[in-house]
Amino acid sequence: MAGSRQDPLELGSDMDEDEALSYAIALSLQEQEVQDKQSSQIPSASTSTSRRNGDGSGGAGLGLLSFDRKKMEEERLQRLAKRRRSPPEDEDVVEVPPPKRMTPCSEPPRTVAGSLAPILLPYPKGTIKRTWAKGYSRTSEDIKIEEIFQKDKLELALLSSYQWDDEWLVSKLDLRRTKLLLLAFADSEAQKSEMQSNAPPGIKFVFPAMNGPGAMHSKLQLLKYPDYLRVVVPTANLVPYDWGETGVMENVGRRTEAL
């Protein structure tokens, strides 16, 4: 009887799902055929008790064998399907993001030099001007004190003079914007105190030391603006008539003979 039973086929790992299913069905039919042959060869003289015992034990053994084989086959098919769905471990899967679309710039980048406004520097090479005189037409060769100060841009002014007209000078400047430092002459401490007390608040005085007799007649202006420094050497004191606002100063020629 044992010789008539066919040996089970080896289950290859390279079977697909259809082949594995066909193999499982064939294996189940083979087990059923063996079971039928064994049941037909049982002797009829056996008692009902022994027949029941033999059928129960044989059926239980074959059922357990079939159940284990079927379960193993289902697990194998699940592993095979899982292995086919998942990629091999030795393959590196690299996700490449889609390329980003570059938006063209509607405006070219500005350079630092192009973004800065040009500085209009007055008289970059220096110049000599005549003092304007009231009653005469303006020319390109004359200048007023307002045109020198440019009070809307002036930040700091150091002024020196021999004669002063405080009210007139203050009218030519904006003391809310301009810091004023006056370099003046005083022959006594009393005169220094008087000049300081008559000046508006915020104006500072500097009195240079005069060694021996004499007076300070220097006329110099240092004017600081946001982007440049102006140096002015005038011939006029800080009084209105020296700047041509009250009249004309005429040069009188020398007489050839004494009076």
Q: 0.75 cut: is pTM over it?
A: no
pLDDT over 90, % of the chain: 27
Residues 132, 81 share a domain: no
Helix runs in 41-173, H state only: 48-85, 112-115, 145-149, 166-171
In this prediction, residue 170 carries a pLDDT of: 92
Average pLDDT over residues 51-58: 45
Average of pLDDT values for 92-116?
Answer: 59
Q: Residue 204 is part of a domain; what is its CATH number? A: 3.30.870.10
* Pair (132, 239) in one structural domain: yes
In a domain, 222, yes or no: yes
Name the catalytic one among 210, 217, 228, 246. 217
Residues 59-84: tens digit of each pLDDT = 444 555 555 677 778 888 888 777 76
- 133 and 58 share a domain? no
Is residue 136 domain-shared with residue 229, that is, in the same domain?
Answer: yes
Is 100 part of a structural domain of the chain? no
Q: How many structural domains comprise the chain?
A: 2
Is 169 a domain residue? yes
What is the phi-psi region of residue 12: left when phi exceeds 0, alpha when psi lies from -120 to 50, beta otherwise? Answer: beta
Q: Known binder of ligand: residue 219?
A: yes
Residue 147 pLDDT > 90: yes
Over residues 25-34, mean pLDDT = 68
Domain that residue 170 falls in: 128-243
Q: Which of 74-83, 169-178, 225-234 has the lowest mean pLDDT?
A: 74-83
Residues 6, 23: Cα–Cα separation, whole Å: 14
Number of helices followed by number of strands (H, E) in the chain: 6, 7
For residue 168, give every residue at least 6 positions away whose Cβ sits within 8 Å of its Cβ, in sequence order, or none.
Answer: 238, 239, 240
Q: Please indicate, yes or no, if residue 111 is contained in any of the structural domains.
A: no
Is residue 98 in some structural domain? Answer: no
**In terms of domains, do 135 and 232 share one?**
yes
- Name the pLDDT band for 136 (thresholds 50, 70, 90): confident
Residue 217 annotated as catalytic: yes
